[in-house]
Amino acid sequence: MPREIRLNAFEMNCVGHQAPGLWAHPRDRSWQYKDLEYWTDLAKLLERGKFDGISIADVIGIYDVLNGNGDAALRQATQVPVNDPLALITPMALVTEHLGFGLTASLTFEHPYPFARRLSTLDHLTKGRVGWNIVTSYLDSGARNLGQKALSEHDARYDYADEYLEVLYKLFEGSWEEGAILRDRERRVFSDPSKVHPINHRGKHFQVPGIHLCEPSPQRTPVLYQAGASSRGKDFAAGHAECVFVAAPSKVLLKKTVADIRQRAAAAGRDPRKVLIFNLQTVIVDETDTKAQAKWKELKSYASYEGALALISGWTGIDFGQYQPDQVLEHLHTNAIRSAVETFSTADPNKQWTVQELADWVGIGGFGPLIVGSAETVADELQAWVEETDVDGFNLAYALAHETFRDVVELLVPELQKRGAFKTEYAPGTLREKLFGDGPRLPANHPGAAYRQLAHAPEPQPARELA
């Protein structure tokens, strides 16, 4: 029996996302990102294709590492201009019934108290179809515009994130007991105050004494996504994430990454099979291999070398403008996406990457691998990735909006369904229930579940002064 493959669509409220330069292609729609129809059309298309969800990336700041400024990013529309992702979810939810929504929001720039309200609101409005992609940010330009000199050190950001999650768990899981909402019209009592509790959080980074402002949503805590792939990031994922996004360029590296994450999850007391891992991937599919190869060559001619370098420079913190296209790269340590540099230094120990080769790789699909072929060829390859690496599915980036996803829905998905490797119907319930087949709440072995006991703990009493 073939293993079921899971698919997410990887998007961003901007032009081009992971395919710099392809906005200029006559069939591309990404320049319409600011129109509501762009997003509602996409949501309906993805639901027709039985995608698990759409993961909406985001950055605060611009890619200004290349040549020391943001000119290249602006010229090539390299993830700028970029609009807020949160506003997209409600209209997409309105035109769909099952599609999940993964919201990327940086905890570095969002205080947990109002952010908890935003997430609970979305979970209510979508009837429990919301997830949160937890990121700590990597662009110093964003930090500077919020009054910071630069981002804090890489591992320190995860220490901050641990407390951030603690505050959210207390608000989502511990503040309101089950049964706190009465809606008793006769007695005119909506909520039972004895079952609503202040969280009294006093930590290193946050002081949050009060109650959660929202009544419990269908999932309480949204499905938790995480995309850090450094050693510290994988520790964080093992402790918190229910779905993990990675971007391994080879099967060898992906197999090691998947095994590492599952081992860490087990060591953290969690079921490693209940942590779903998605690799970033781009597929260019057509009716035949020949047509797909011709399509890929056409799309490749629109890819922007300058735009790709702007992305790579921002992701790694290395100014690639200082290198010639044929220059071989050396392993460099940065405070940005450390794992991105490690990936291309260790994926193939025998390969020496040049700047041009790296830009060509990133030009369509970012750091993830690219598969080109007929539906049969692409399905064969995706199944091989799953079988050989133990990955659960793929976070698909597009080359052309919305053509890439339409080709997947109309050509690839039916082929996978014919093989029994892709669902033909959605499971009922919330996003968490659809993904894991269990209840709508965090499982009992998830660390967030421990904060439910707050709802039954006695209120702390002020210390008495001795007479």
The string of DSSP letters for 352-379 reads: --BHHHHHHHHHTTTTS-EEEEEHHHHH
467 part of a folded domain: no
Mean pLDDT of all residues in 91-106: 96
Domain of residue 36, CATH code:
3.20.20.30
Is the pLDDT at 55 greater than 70? The verdict is yes
Residue 277 included in any domain: yes
Looking at mean pLDDT, say which of 108-122, 144-158, 352-366, 444-458 comes out highest: 108-122
pLDDT-derived band at 61 (thresholds 50, 70, 90) equals: confident
Least confident of 108-117, 192-201, 338-347, 439-448: 338-347
For residue 155, the Cα-to-chain-centroid distance in whole angstroms is: 19
> How high is the mean pLDDT of the chain?
90
- Condensed to tens digits (0 to 9), the pLDDT of residues 350-375 reads 677 788 988 999 999 998 999 999 99
Q: Is residue 392 part of a domain?
A: yes
Domain count, the chain: 1
465: confidence class by pLDDT, cuts 50, 70, 90: very low
For the residues 427-435, what does the mean pLDDT come to?
A: 98
**Residue, of 146 and 133, whose pLDDT is higher:** 133
Q: Specify if 273 maps to a domain.
A: yes
Q: Residue 466: pLDDT band by 50, 70, 90 thresholds?
A: very low
Query: What's the confidence (pLDDT) of residue 142?
Result: 60
Q: Other CB atoms closer than 10 Å to residue 114's CB: what's the count?
A: 9
| pLDDT exceeds 90 at position 13 | yes
φ, ψ at 55 (rounded to 5°): -100, 120
Quick one: which of 68, 152, 169 has its CA closest to 116?
Answer: 169
pLDDT, position 343: 62
Residues of 442-459 as b/e, b for ≥16 C-beta within 10 angstroms?
A: beeebbbbebbebbeeee
CA-closest candidate to residue 449, choices 438, 458, 460, 464: 438
Distance from the Cα of residue 17 to its chain's centroid: 13
Query: Does the pLDDT value for residue 464 go beyond 50?
Result: no
Mean per-residue pLDDT, 185-189? 97
Note down the domain range covering 20.
6-456
Q: Give domain status of residue 465, yes or no.
A: no
Cα pseudo-dihedral 51, 13, 139, 60, rounded to 10:
-120
Is 466 a member of any domain? no
The pLDDT of 372-391, averaged and rounded, is 98
Half-sphere exposure of 183 (CA within 13 A, CB side): 3
The phi-psi region of residue 281 (left if phi > 0; otherwise alpha if psi is between -120 and 50; otherwise beta) is beta
Distance, in Å, from the CA atom of 227 to the CA atom of 241, rounded to the nearest integer, reads 9
Residues in the chain: 467
CA angle 43, 45, 46 (to 5 degrees): 65
Residue 465 neighbours by CB under 8 Å, 6+ apart:
none
pTM of the shown model:
0.92
Tell me whether residue 463 is in a domain: no
